[in-house]
Chains A and B, each alone.
Chain A
């Protein structure tokens, strides 16, 4: 199981200049394992910087990024290998599509890895299937796809590298509720089948609540909270205090307490809330 360990990481934009910005401030974390980890925080909290450190797009100002027991910056010339192991799907990834066919575009990563045409082909088919792209679409131009299909093609382009760790920055941004659900379900499904560690960066508490096992909350360049969904959302008052939203259902649960109906602090999905309420009422009546 792939794990990335961040040791005392700090990152400063424009270090040494008068306008330097400390985006990350002495962070130590271990991410990975067979889970879906959510990273959240508002714009400027450092979460995007964190993500780009994981695959070596950025080099930490201080501290070490350890992957498979090795410092990824030990040999800067080999940083490309790190990017094959830690696959990053950037925000609005459909804008990076460039090749003549969807097939070629998905093959870009595997070809860069130096695979044989047969291997590349196998990877493309596998990735397309995971991303929920029909084979008939593979020979189309990526620019003829619908918005949602383009997003899937871009996702497949990263999955095709079979990364040990898959990092997605706002994978559902701009999609409608149906589209959000579909893409997040495919990611969840992919995680289960392949065993890859998945990291999702998102603003959406509702999505986090539904799809993540572990949630890391960033605030002002530091880790503000780190735990299971239940642990994190039960501290909703603290989340609100740093300007983050919590799922509406969490508010409802907290309001219910005023009526003597205590269903606990760790309510973050409607399904769970419904079950808890019914259990409580039936228990009382029994």
Chain B
């Protein structure tokens, strides 16, 4: 980690949460004493099977749910303190935005650019400023030529890019993607992942990507694996995916390259496991088998 002591954009301390049940009985913890901090500018993927607590974590960080115990700090401010006001929450939401799973259920307006303008309008910005931000945001996600289109006629990937533009237009420093690629086809997933990656690299926006696709998780610089409401693993993609067995136990996958290398290793060949590129994987195998 960097030696500069910067305030993390999101910091979570000893967070626990259980969903209320209908009959008032205690349910198992969706989150169980979780602590973690997200550095500004990083690209963090949160992996976990359905029910592992990853989406609950996202809802905590976007202040949709209130923790039973522990705290969520946004940009150094404790959002779980008793004296937090509506104003404070609004302030925090100006820093952290969220893109949801179902592309249809987050678009408000009947025209693309009107939808992108929705957030900035809520911030009470002057209209010329909104116009400028909307145009800029649409061009960043590559949707400028659809500005006057009706959102319901766009593809899933395009709808998600509109949702992203709506958040960029609010100039947020951090975007949480709550399984935003889960309902898309491979082409749509690629569109959205490329956009996310570009925003992180070029616009320095902090990205928190919640997913269960391994090939998406390897694109970030940190992977957090959730299981049973706890953090199971936390490290770079290379570190995390070097332990296929632990991921399999958590009902997750590993990239096929890693799986192949893992099997070869078990057969007695000395190979590294943290390789996700087919070319590098082939090179590693050739080296281990003495075929240069």
Chain A: residues with CB nearer than 8 A to chain B?
42-43, 146-148, 173-179, 203-204, 206, 243, 245, 247-249, 251-252, 254-256, 258-261, 270-271, 273-274, 277-278, 281
Q: Is the CB of B282 within 8 A of A43?
A: no
Q: Is the CB of B291 within 8 A of A177?
A: no
| Nearest CB in chain B to that of A179: its residue | B50
Q: Is the CB of B278 within 8 A of A281?
A: no
In the bound complex, CA of A215 to CA of B284 (Å): 32
Taking A248-B256, A256-B282, A259-B292 as known contacts, 6 extra A-B pairs with beta carbons closer than 8 A to each other, sorted by chain A number, are: A43-B185, A146-B50, A176-B49, A179-B50, A259-B285, A277-B260
Residues of B within 8 A of A204 (CB): 186
In the bound complex, CA of A274 to CA of B258 (Å): 12
Residues of B within 8 A of A249 (CB): 256-257, 260
B212 at interface (Cβ–Cβ under 8 A)?
Answer: yes
In the bound complex, CA of A252 to CA of B285 (Å): 10
B253 at interface (Cβ–Cβ under 8 A)?
Answer: yes
In the bound complex, CA of A188 to CA of B227 (Å): 28
Q: List, sorted by A's number, 23 A–B pairs whose CB atoms are closer than 8 Å.
A: A42-B185, A146-B51, A148-B50, A175-B50, A176-B49, A178-B251, A179-B50, A204-B186, A206-B256, A247-B256, A252-B282, A252-B285, A255-B279, A255-B282, A256-B285, A259-B282, A259-B283, A260-B286, A273-B260, A274-B267, A277-B264, A278-B267, A281-B289
Q: Is the CB of B267 within 8 A of A252?
A: no
> How many B residues, CB 8 Å from partner?
35
Q: Is the CB of B182 within 8 A of A274?
A: no
Given A176-B251, A249-B260, decide whether A147 and B50 contact each other with a Cβ distance below 8 A: yes
| Nearest CB in chain B to that of A170: its residue | B185
| Nearest CB in chain B to that of A261: its residue | B291
Shortest CB–CB separation between residue A179 and chain B, in angstroms? 6
In the bound complex, CA of A19 to CA of B279 (Å): 45
Q: Is the CB of B253 within 8 A of A177?
A: yes
Q: Is the CB of B264 within 8 A of A256?
A: no
Q: Is the CB of B183 within 8 A of A270?
A: no
Shortest CB–CB separation between residue A79 and chain B, in angstroms? 30
Shortest CB–CB separation between residue B205 and chain A, in angstroms? 26
Residues of B within 8 A of A203 (CB): 185-186
Q: Is the CB of A256 within 8 A of B257?
A: no
Shortest CB–CB separation between residue B63 and chain A, in angstroms? 24
Residues of A within 8 A of B187 (CB): 42-43, 243
Given A42-B186, A177-B251, decide whether A259 and B291 contact each other with a Cβ distance below 8 A: yes
Residues of A within 8 A of B264 (CB): 274, 277-278
B259 at interface (Cβ–Cβ under 8 A)?
Answer: yes
Residues of A within 8 A of B174 (CB): none
Residues of B within 8 A of A147 (CB): 50
B130 at interface (Cβ–Cβ under 8 A)?
Answer: no
B199 at interface (Cβ–Cβ under 8 A)?
Answer: no
Shortest CB–CB separation between residue A245 and chain B, in angstroms? 6
Q: Is the CB of B49 within 8 A of A173?
A: no
Q: Is the CB of B257 within 8 A of A248?
A: yes
B231-267 vs A, Cβ < 8 Å mask (1 yes, 0 no) = 0000000000000000000011101110110011001
Q: Is the CB of B260 within 8 A of A260?
A: no
Residues of A within 8 A of B61 (CB): none
With most chain B CB atoms within 10 A of its CB, the pick from A176, A179, A278 is A176
Shortest CB–CB separation between residue B284 and chain A, in angstroms? 10
Shortest CB–CB separation between residue A32 and chain B, in angstroms? 26
Q: Is the CB of A256 within 8 A of B286?
A: yes
Q: Is the CB of A259 within 8 A of B260?
A: no
Q: Is the CB of A270 within 8 A of B259?
A: yes
| Nearest CB in chain B to that of A273: its residue | B260
In the bound complex, CA of A278 to CA of B261 (Å): 12
Residues of B within 8 A of A179 (CB): 49-50, 251
In the bound complex, CA of A42 to CA of B286 (Å): 34
A260 touches which one: B182, B186, B212, B291 (CB < 8 A)?
A: B291
